[in-house]
Structure 1
Amino acid sequence: MSATDDIPSGQGSPPADSPTAYQEVQRSPEFAALRRRWRRFIFTLSAVFLVWFLVYVLLAAYATGFMNTTIGGSNITVGLIFGLLQFVSTFVIATVYVRYADKHLDPEAERLRLLVEEKL
């Protein structure tokens, strides 16, 4: 008795040569366009953030006089402000991504999800 004897006919894995609903959607031009749009946005934002972070690190390492400049006669320095702006930029990037995804990615992803559910 094999493991497939317990599975009623019509259920179980599809034959190896026919793609699943997920594979069909993954191969579709709509899915490819969605992935391209997502990658272009993510890679651009990641590059901007990494450049901003690299500038901060390089200034901290090689422009110590500039980074130690006090602002307004207090103990607040340019380096401290730049460091705090790293946190601010992280939250800004997250907010920008959520807005972009809500407007440009999620509607198409939802449509593809419904397409998969129809095929199941």
Structure 2
Amino acid sequence: MTTQQHDSSVYEEIGGSERFQELKRRYRSWAFPMTVAFLAWYLLYVVLSGFARDFMGTKVWGNINIALIFGLLQFVSTFLIAWAYARHSAAKLDPLADELRHEIEGNPAAADGEVKA
């Protein structure tokens, strides 16, 4: 058996395993709702900018209006989502992904959590 055939069979086996399916479920259960929430927030900003010009033009302090604040909050929310994803990944995804990686690489002790890389 060639290395390529061996590699594809290992990945097919891992891809069908319950632990890999759990990894995908954990990722999707966080990424999809967060994506929907961010897109809704972004579209709210766009719609308000287009159709609620008086509201968005309301001065808050000096020349700073609601549109500018919402625009800056887009950046803040992007960084917060990236930070939250890094925490989620470190806590929920990386340990399981490491187990699967060690299993694929043939280090069963590491897959059981006995050896840390």
TM-score with structure 2 length normalisation?
0.84
- SS of corresponding position for 2:64: coil
Instruction: For 1:32-51, list aligned pairs within 5 A.
Output: 32-51=21-40
| Aligned-residue offset at 1:81 | 0.3
- Residue type of the alignment partner of 2:57: N
Q: Which has the higher contact order (CA 8 A, sep 6+)?
A: 1
Instruction: For 1:82-97, list aligned pairs within 5 A.
Output: 82-97=70-85
Between the aligned partners of 2:47 and 2:4, the Cα distance in structure 1 is 55
Instruction: For 1:1-120, list aligned pairs within 5 A.
Output: 12-14=3-5, 20-72=9-61, 74-118=62-106
| Aligned-residue offset at 1:14 | 3.9
Between the aligned partners of 1:36 and 1:59, the Cα distance in structure 2 is 34
TM-score with structure 1 length normalisation?
0.82
Between the aligned partners of 2:43 and 2:82, the Cα distance in structure 1 is 19
Change (3 A) 1:13 1:90: closer
Between the aligned partners of 1:80 and 1:30, the Cα distance in structure 2 is 45
Taking only aligned residues, the RMSD between alpha carbons, in angstroms, comes to 1.7
| Unaligned residue ranges in structure 2 (runs of 5+) | 108-117
Between the aligned partners of 1:107 and 1:48, the Cα distance in structure 2 is 26
Once the two structures are superposed, what CA deviation does each residue of 1:14-58 show, in whole Å capped at 9, x if it has no partner? 48xxx6222111110110111011011110110000000011011
Between the aligned partners of 2:43 and 2:55, the Cα distance in structure 1 is 16
Q: Which has the larger radius of gyration?
A: 1
Q: How many equivalent pairs are there?
A: 106
Give the number of the structure whose residues are more often helix, by fraction.
2
Between the aligned partners of 2:105 and 2:37, the Cα distance in structure 1 is 37
Between the aligned partners of 2:83 and 2:5, the Cα distance in structure 1 is 41
